């Protein structure tokens, strides 16, 4: 896989290197072309256009220069009569609508284009040149952002390679954008060809429509969404009593408006509750709360619990708070749900083409594994346990290919876990503790050796747990060899799958139904001898040989991903906590403005999870 990517990258570099050798592009027969050329050249070479929202385009300057070199520095976006081309007008509208795609309109000068268009009427050489150069820069930014995202994922230590899907932007814009017959269709074609992405983008537009209703004849401020205040007692969260069906709630009106704004109550339903007076917590309100809980990954009882109210107020639940904090102010232009959708759409754009519709995908904040059929429709979902939030055990985000499964595996305990978790027991009970718990010490060839506590602590021998039902890896593991030593595996701790928040591992991913997954993987991967059914898999797990490897004839792409918003099977958008703070990291980078980090950097496997044969 790595060799194939390298080969593709070489081909891509050759394409860029030879792009300047193709025939000159067809250009508009604009008057005074030499004069426009004289005005365009210093703008491009300066790497800044002062009138742009983000003036510095040094990261795009070589591509902009090649674009104009190929055109003999004639304008691309202005007609002879001093008006924008049809394509420029369509792109300006796309820039203004950028929020509908989870992007920031100001990144593409959305609010500045109307004034620029007016200035074109005078056909000033400087105004025409500035308009044309700014349009080229923003079209390149817009297309690149939709194609591969705004920030290179390696900046966040995500092992996702976007290089293979990059466009040769000067060639692409010249050949496809300047004379595009249908600009919206062109824009759609550069985005991820994935149904989940399209559903999430459509849902985003619905949320934006709720947040920003059509303007009234007179200018009005966009309404902020009502915040459901905390229940009236304001006692310690740990002793708060939930409000159940048939009870009363003093803030029922505010709660109903909040749920109505989210689409969980029909429009106008909040009118039945009187502002400022205790209201009935009736069946309609309880059903709306239950739907909200389902969408936001909360226990779906329909009771108005403290965790639900905290979620409604966009507060993090903490059982040790002395008093509940006041609701934070809500920026109506940056609703938290919309931000999660924006962040999730950005990550979809990072995926390489061969992983856009990967057959297997783990969504870490959701604690769910999904399998897809060859036609990309959903085949199954399965609960998973992922790396702990606290400490250095977060499961990394990356793409790879599943190559084989191992029945009845040994667990080679990483030295970090030996030091942190086993040595205290060995110090108390002696080396015999290991044998009593099903562990053994072996050399690098797997041969049994006796070892002292000192040898074990310094890593002079391998400590491994013997196969069996009590093994930390369970009875099967699913392998896609990677530098993090991360894989899927079963677990004897099945009770963990009853938890809502499932971050308990040292980095690897524990699956709820390993035998079912094995049947799916072995048949999808055409593993010998073929015709793997549940009985054959169960026999191999229970009574088969230890550490038995079965290779897949067809490797299966898998994505370990991070989406805090997605559209579920019920058609609703579901939201999940930013457990590893990756949303916050992304938002911090974007808040600094352009130029965003675009260069590929070396991913450090030690920065995301403890290396070793983790569980």
Residues forming a β-bridge with 549: 406
With respect to residue 274, please indicate whether it lies within any of the assigned structural domains: yes
State residue 21's pLDDT score: 39
145 falls in which pLDDT band (50, 70, 90)? very high
With respect to residue 394, please indicate whether it lies within any of the assigned structural domains: no
Q: How far apart are CA 77 and CA 56, in angstroms?
A: 21
Of 263, 291, 312, the residue that ends a domain is: 312
State residue 587's pLDDT score: 95
Question: Dihedral angle at the C-alpha atoms of 197, 199, 204, 205, nearest 10 degrees?
Answer: 120
Share of the chain above pLDDT 90, in %: 57
Residues 290 and 168 both lie in one domain: no
With respect to residue 290, please indicate whether it lies within any of the assigned structural domains: yes
State residue 216's pLDDT score: 53
Q: How far apart are CA 587 and CA 383, in angstroms?
A: 28
Average pLDDT over residues 165-187: 96
Residues 98 and 242 both lie in one domain: no
Residues 9 and 116 both lie in one domain: yes
Of 291, 312, 333, the residue that ends a domain is: 312
Please write the tens of the pLDDT for every residue from 409-460. Answer: 999 988 888 888 899 898 888 888 888 888 989 988 888 888 888 888 888 8
What's the gap between Cα 74 and its chain centre?
40
22 falls in which pLDDT band (50, 70, 90)? very low
Query: In this structure, are strands 360-363 and 548-561 parallel, antiparallel, or unpaired?
Result: parallel
With respect to residue 100, please indicate whether it lies within any of the assigned structural domains: yes
Domain count of the fold of the chain? 2
Please write the tens of the pLDDT for every residue from 59-105. Answer: 999 999 999 999 999 999 999 888 999 999 999 999 999 999 999 99
With respect to residue 599, please indicate whether it lies within any of the assigned structural domains: no
Between 563 and 462, whose confidence is greater? 563
Residue whose C-alpha is closest to residue 351's, from 579, 196, 177, 184:
196
Does residue 204 have a pLDDT over 90?
yes
Domain range for 89 is: 2-191
Please write the tens of the pLDDT for every residue from 380-417. Answer: 999 999 999 988 889 999 999 999 999 999 999 888 88
With respect to residue 20, please indicate whether it lies within any of the assigned structural domains: yes
Average pLDDT over residues 522-532: 93
Residues 164 and 54 both lie in one domain: yes
Residues 56 and 147 both lie in one domain: yes
Between 350 and 320, whose confidence is greater? 350
Of 131, 161, 191, the residue that ends a domain is: 191
Residues 260 and 186 both lie in one domain: no
With respect to residue 296, please indicate whether it lies within any of the assigned structural domains: yes
- Least confident segment among 443-447, 501-505, 523-527: 443-447
Residues 14 and 163 both lie in one domain: yes
325 falls in which pLDDT band (50, 70, 90)? very low
Residues 241 and 180 both lie in one domain: no
Q: How far apart are CA 8 and CA 47, in angstroms?
A: 30
Take residue 437 and report the two structure tokens written for it: 């718990």
Residues 100 and 154 both lie in one domain: yes
Residues 143 and 63 both lie in one domain: yes
For 88-105, give one letter per residue: b (16+ CB within 10 A) or e: bebbbebbbbbbebbbbb
10 falls in which pLDDT band (50, 70, 90)? very low
317 falls in which pLDDT band (50, 70, 90)? very low
Give the orientation angle of helix 33-46 with respect to helix 61-69, to 10 degrees: 160
With respect to residue 183, please indicate whether it lies within any of the assigned structural domains: yes
Residues 169 and 78 both lie in one domain: yes
State residue 456's pLDDT score: 86
CATH number of the domain encompassing residue 252:
1.10.101.10
Does residue 234 have a pLDDT over 80?
no
- Least confident segment among 8-22, 199-213, 215-229: 8-22
Q: How far apart are CA 53 and CA 299, in angstroms?
A: 44
Average pLDDT over residues 6-29: 41
Average pLDDT over residues 173-182: 96
Does residue 319 have a pLDDT over 80?
no
Residues 56 and 114 both lie in one domain: yes
Average pLDDT over residues 294-318: 70
393 phi, psi to nearest 5 deg: -120, 15
């Amino acid at each position: 896989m790595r060799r194939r990517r390298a080969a593709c990258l070489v081909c891509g570099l050759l394409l860029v290197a030879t792009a300047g050798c193709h025939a000159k592009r067809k250009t508009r027969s604009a008057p005074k072309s030499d004069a426009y050329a004289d005005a365009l050249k210093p703008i491009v070479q300066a790497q800044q256009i002062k009138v742009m929202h983000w003036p510095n385009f040094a990261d795009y300057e070589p591509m902009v220069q090649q674009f104009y070199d190929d055109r003999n520095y004639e304008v691309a976006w202005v007609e002879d009569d001093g008006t924008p081309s049809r394509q420029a007008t369509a792109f300006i509208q796309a820039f203004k609508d950028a929020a509908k795609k989870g992007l920031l309109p100001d990144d593409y000068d959305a609010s500045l284009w109307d004034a620029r268009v007016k200035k074109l009427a005078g056909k000033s050489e400087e105004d025409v040149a500035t308009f044309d150069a700014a349009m080229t820069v923003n079209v390149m930014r817009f297309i690149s952002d939709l194609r591969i995202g705004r920030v290179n994922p390696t900046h966040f230590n995500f092992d996702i390679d976007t290089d293979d899907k990059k466009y040769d932007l000067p060639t692409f814009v010249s050949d496809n954008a300047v004379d595009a017959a249908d600009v919206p269709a062109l824009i759609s074609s550069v985005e991820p060809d994935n149904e989940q992405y399209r559903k999430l983008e459509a849902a985003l537009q619905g949320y934006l429509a709720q947040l920003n209703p059509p303007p009234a004849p007179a200018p009005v401020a966009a309404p902020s969404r009502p915040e459901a205040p905390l229940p009236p007692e304001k006692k310690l969260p740990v002793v708060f009593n939930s409000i159940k069906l048939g009870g009363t709630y003093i803030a029922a009106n505010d709660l109903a408006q909040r749920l109505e704004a989210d689409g969980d109550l029909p429009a106008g339903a909040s009118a039945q509750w009187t502002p400022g007076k205790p209201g009935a917590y009736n069946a309609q309100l309880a059903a709306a709360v239950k739907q909200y809980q389902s969408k936001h990954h909360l226990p779906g009882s329909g009771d108005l619990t403290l965790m639900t109210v905290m979620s409604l107020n966009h507060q993090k639940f903490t059982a040790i708070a002395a008093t509940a904090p006041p609701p934070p102010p809500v920026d109506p232009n940056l609703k938290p749900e919309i931000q999660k959708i924006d962040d999730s759409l950005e990550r979809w754009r990072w995926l390489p083409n061969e992983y856009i519709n990967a057959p297997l995908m783990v969504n870490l904040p959701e604690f769910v594994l999904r399998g897809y059929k060859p036609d990309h429709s959903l085949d199954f979902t399965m609960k998973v346990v992922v790396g702990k939030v606290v400490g250095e055990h977060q499961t990394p985000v990356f793409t790879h290919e599943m190559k084989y499964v191992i029945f009845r595996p040994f667990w080679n305990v990483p030295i970090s876990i030996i030091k942190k978790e086993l040595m205290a027991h060995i110090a108390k009970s002696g080396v015999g503790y290991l044998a009593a718990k099903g562990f053994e010490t072996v050399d690098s060839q797997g041969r049994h050796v006796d070892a002292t506590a000192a040898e074990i602590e310094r890593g002079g021998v391998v400590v491994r747990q013997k196969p069996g039902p009590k093994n930390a890896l369970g009875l099967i593991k699913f392998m896609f060899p990677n530098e993090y030593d991360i894989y899927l595996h079963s677990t004897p701790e099945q009770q963990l799958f009853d938890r809502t928040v499932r971050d308990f591992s040292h980095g690897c991913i524990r699956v709820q139904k390993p035998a079912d997954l094995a049947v799916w993987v072995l048949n999808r991967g055409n593993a010998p001898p073929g015709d793997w059914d549940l009985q054959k898999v169960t026999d191999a797990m229970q009574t088969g040989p230890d550490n038995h490897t079965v290779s897949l004839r067809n490797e299966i792409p898998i994505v370990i991903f991070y989406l805090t918003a997605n559209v579920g099977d019920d058609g609703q958008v579901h939201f999940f906590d930013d457990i590893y703070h990756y949303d916050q990291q992304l938002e911090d980078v974007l808040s600094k403005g352009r130029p965003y980090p675009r260069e590929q950097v070396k991913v450090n496997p030690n920065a995301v999870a403890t290396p070793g044969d983790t569980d």
